Each structure stands twice: as C-alpha cells, then as structure tokens.
Structure 1
Amino acid sequence: MTDTRIPEDRGQLKRRTVLAAGGAAVTAVGVGGAFAAGASAQEETAANACYTLTSELVEGPYYIDADKIRQDVTEDQEGIPLTLALTVIDAETCRPLRDAAVDIWHCNALGVYSGYESNGSGGGGGGPAPTDAPSGTPTGTPTGEPPSGPPGGVGGHQEPTDDERYLRGTWRTDRHGRVTFRTVFPGWYQGRCVHIHVKVHVDGEWTDAGYEGGHTCHTGQLFFDEASVLLTAEEEPYSTNAAARTTLDEDTIYPGNGHEGGLLYLRYDRRHIARGVHARLTLGVEPDATHDGQDSPPQPTASASTSASAS
C-alpha cells in the first residue's frame, strides 16, 4: 500500500515553537515528508500533536444526539471503505482523554444525510440520483452548510425528518484516548467540500443505555485533500454524484490551517483507492471548556496546502 501524502516542503524540516503548560518554550521538529505506511497514531501524538488546539468549527444543522453507540456506522451505504482513527488528548497536559464519547456523522456518496433524506443532497430537495459524472474542475460557489434547505442556517439545528441513522455513531475512547470508526468515504453536495463532523463529550457517564450527562468540549470537522477526492470521483457511486463540488480551498468552513483545522492524514493506494482508505488525526481539546458548535464559523484563511501532509 502506497502512502499518498505529499511533502509541503520536500526535503526540509519544519519547526514550530510552542508554549508548554509550565510556561517554558519548547521546539517541536517534524519531518515534512511522507510518513512510512506503518506510522502509528502514537508517533503522531508524540511528535507534533500536543502543542496545539484543534480548531472549533460549526456543528451544522444535521447533528443528531448520540443514539447509536457503535464503531461501524456503514449500515447499507455503498462507497469506498474508510477506517477513521482518532486520538483525543488534553492540549494543555498532552494526556489522552479516556472514556470520552466521540460522535461522527457525515453524508453518503451522493451528499445525503441520514435523518434528513427529504432534504436531498445538502438540502437540495430529493429526487432520483443524478447520472452524469462530475468534472475534475469544481464549479460550486461556497455558500456555507447547507446552501439551501429548511430554516436553521449554518449553525442552527434542524429536527430530523426520518428515522434513518446511517453514517452516524458514537464510541468510547480507550485508555490511550483512541477511538476507531468504520464507515465509507463521504461524498459531497453543493456549497461544501468533502468532510466529516465530529464532537467530543467528557465528564459524562457510560451506562447500559449509552452515554449520559457531561458536556461537549470539542465540535469540529474533518477534511480530505483534493487528490483523494478526485480519485473517489472516478469510482461508483461517487461518479454518479453530479452536484457542483467545492474544493478544500474554496470551502467556507475549513479554516485553512492544515491538521490543526481538521485535515486528515490519509493512507491508500492511488491506483486502487476503491480498496479502502485509512484516515487518522489527533484532536487536541480543552476538557474543561464547552464548545457546542453553535457559534458562527470563522472566516477561512488561505490554505497552506491541500495535501494530507500540510501542518
């Protein structure tokens, strides 16, 4: 399996100076080149993840509170298999957060969210799936999430319209702060780049019924580089999604700051992406803070890189 990450500055070391919890300056050095295919989440955490908070972003209108406690959220959805491995740490102490509840949710290959199928692709109104393939050059004008649909706006929550719950789930972090989900590579809809929503809940209680109480300390979104998205667009069922596609740089939600903003590390075979994609990221959060994602999203800045190695 080939690691597809492209160095931001090939052959150079990239340095960051950060402030440790005790007030001392620490310099972290990371290689800008591609990692070995077997690079682990632990290595990422130790090398370059302890010194920054992951960006807080808007929740969006299609969140449904944790009612599916599961790691495999695929159900009957078609698409390229995606393994999503997340590590949650306290950004101040660098310690893993054990027993946190992590939610993920995203649209399917045709841009439809479960629970909101009547809204169609990104709130566009349902109907039969399109049959013409998208071009390699995106034409969508970013308009937020979603560009149309029922009231609620970018951050306003909408009540579900149906009982479907595919591509949604909640799972518990282990003692290393890790959680892994099995899903499919998301599709797209007009006005947004390809993304996955994520929330982290802490200080609650795990019961037989699920996770209760506590508060949301992080609401974010996870993003994919253009190279991977263009490859998926050549595969079914993504090739039947004719919705205008917005690139990572055009997106109004992605803050343009690489992994800190949610850009995933990806690993897949460029010749056979349909076989599956492995994605991973460490989320640096503030356990004592409350970030429910209801505020307006920040204005994006120019992205340093659209590759999976941007930092």
Structure 2
Amino acid sequence: MTDTPQQAMTERELTRRKVVVAGGATVAAAGLAVGLGANAFAGDKSPGAPKGAPTEACYVLTTETTEGPYYIDADKIRQDITEDEEGIPLTLKLKVIDAETCRPVRNAAVDIWHCSALGVYSGYEGMGNGGGGAPPSGDPSATPTDVPTGPPPSGGPGGGGGGHQEPTDDERYLRGTWRTDKHGHVTFRTVFPGWYRGRCVHIHVKVHVDGTWTDAGYEGGHACHTGQLFFDEESVLASAEVEPYSTNTATRTTLDEDTIYPDNGAVGGLLHLRYDKRHIARGVHAHLTMGVAPDETHDTTDTQPSASASASAS
C-alpha cells in the first residue's frame, strides 16, 4: 500500500528526530536531546552497546535562524578571532554531527561572527551600535522591562529586514572560519559578545560542507546550517558588571524578549556555559553539539523570522 504524502513526511520527520540512548534504543522524543547534550559533546561510549551501534546521542536538527545583514564570506581562516578586542575571554567549542546518522561531520568549515562588547560588528563600524547614533542612556545591568517594538533606527542592525548589507570598512575582528576535526569538533577563542538595540546577546554560525580546503582557505560546497548561538540571562547580567560591557548603555534585550531566539533550549542554539560566577572576567567556556543535515542547503534566511522579528533580524 502506498503511503500518502502526509504519511511519508511524518515518517521522515520521525526518522530525523530520533534520539539514540545508551544500549542503542531509539526514542522519538526531541526533548531528550537537550538533556543528553553533555554526553554527546564528550563523545562518551555507551556501555554494553551492540558492536557497530551508534555511541553518541542523536539530536534533532539544530534550529535554523536568519543569517542577519552582517555576514562576510570566509576570508579569515583562524581559531583565535579576538584580534585586539577587549572583553571577557570566551572559549567556544562546537561539535557538528549529522542529526540523522549521529556521525560527526568531518572537515566542515564553521564560520562564526559576532559584535564587540560595545555592540559593534567589524566590517560595519559605520553602523555603530544599534543604529549608528549615540546609544541611549541607562543601566546596562538592569533587567529590561519592555519588549522592543518596531525596527532599529535606519541603517542599524536589521537594516533591510535582515537582508545582507555591504561592508563599510576593512575591519574583520570577531570573525573567523575553522575546520572540524575527525570527531566533528571545532574550537574558537574570542570574547563574550555584547549587545545592541533589539537583540539579545548572540553569536552567528554557519556550517559549510562538500567544499575543498586549499592554501587560500575553503572553496565551494554549500551551507548546511545557518543559525545563532545564545547566552542565558544570568551570564549576560554578570558580564554587564565588567568593563567594557559596563560602559555599553544601549537598550538591552533579554533572551525571553528576543524575537529571533526560538525558545527551545540547546536545540535552538542555547549554549552550555561554565565560568566562575564570582569572577566571570576570568573567562567563560561554552559548548554545544549541533545537529545538521549535510545533504540539505540552509544558506541565508530560508527560515524566516516572524513578521515582528524581521525588522531587527541581525
């Protein structure tokens, strides 16, 4: 008997969302992906698993989000993207796996880019923080009370509704691309991002596959994932007490208020963080396992934000 299109689609979705736990059992419960994050990242072996069985937790696909207007194609092949930017040291460890097979995605090119502690993107310094004008006054460590409404000022982050903007300068700090190893791991050294009007603290990320690594960098292939990585409110509040973040007076948007964060935890890009809560200035370690579909293309903004979000998608 031939399945209806709806039945076939359902079966594919169930296959995509399977979660393999110790012993090789398959559970169709996407929520388990978050709880299993630490083991999946560490690559723990499953005691007693049948020979040849997957030894890591499978994830649902990590949520695709808008690319934003400030992406610059992989022209800085490096792990340390800090340059001379001031801020809390951040070590970001990502693991990229095929969400359907659980296998690590090797030799992928992973791009990350984010704003400075003061909310400015390299390559777009002329845009300033949240719109190019003087930032509003206020206590950046205070909990925001209003959900931002309307678009940022003309020319600021999100200009053009998230469409790509041409760079305004040659700066490239806090941007870089690096290669996943045989375990799907990639590590970057950077600083904890700041914030700007209309967005919570975040890092942009892309994963490219099927290209070729050359002396000049990474060529060809396609982007199988375009998303964003997010920080919990507790860590952001702690960072706001440290210079130069404490001088960033732009109106801050919380994670719950953000119109891009999909509100689904690690599956949506919420990072696992480790730091001394009394001394966050000493540094933060962040990690996440990302489930991608290597045979699919998610290049720019093919997953559109809501209408209210599109004006500030960056």
Larger radius of gyration: 2
Asked if residue 186 in structure 1 is aligned to residue 185 in structure 2, the reply is no
CA contact (8 A) 1:132 1:239 kept: no
Structure 1 segment 26-45 matched on structure 2, within 5 A: 26=27, 41-43=42-44
C-alpha distance in structure 2 between counterparts of 1:126 and 1:280, whole Å: 34
Q: Secondary structure at the match of 2:43?
A: helix
Which amino acid in the other structure matches residue 261 of structure 1?
G
- Give yes or no for the alignment of 1:211 onto 2:218: yes
Determine the C-alpha separation between the residues in 1 that align with 2:282 and 2:303: 37
Distance 1:169 1:32, change over 3 A: closer
Question: 69, 72, 88: which is aligned to 1:64?
Answer: 72
Under a length normalisation based on structure 1, what TM-score does the superposition of the two structures give?
0.80
**1:277 maps to 2:284:** yes
Q: Partners of 1:121 and 1:255 in 2: how far apart? A: 24
Matches within 5 A, 1:1-311: 19=18, 25-26=26-27, 41-43=42-44, 49-122=57-130, 124-125=131-132, 133-139=139-145, 141-142=147-148, 148-149=154-155, 152-295=159-302, 297-299=304-306
- Residues matched between the structures, number: 278
CA–CA distance in structure 2, aligned partners of residues 146 and 296 of structure 1: 21
Shift of 1:136: 1.6
Corresponding residue for residue 12 of structure 1? none
Which residue does 1:11 correspond to in 2? none
Mapped to 2, the partners of 1:34 and 1:292 lie a distance apart of 25
Using the size of structure 2 for normalisation, the TM-score is: 0.80
Letter in 2 for 1:42: G
Give the structure with the larger helix fraction: 2
Q: Structure 2 unaligned segments of length 5 or more: list them.
A: 1-16, 47-53, 308-314
Unpaired segments of 5 or more residues in structure 1? 1-17, 301-311
Amino acid paired to 1:79: G
SS at 2:288's partner residue?
A: strand
Kindly state the Cα deviation for residue 126 of structure 1 after the two structures are TM-superposed: 5.1
Instruction: Determine the structure 2 residue equivalent to 1:307.
Output: none
1:144 and 1:43, CA in 2 relative to 1: closer, same or farther beyond 3 A? farther
Equivalent residues of 1:30, 1:47 under 8 A apart: no
Deviation at 1:295, TM superposition (A): 3.1
Amino acid at match of 1:297: Q
Q: C-alpha distance in 2, partners of 1:93/1:86?
A: 18
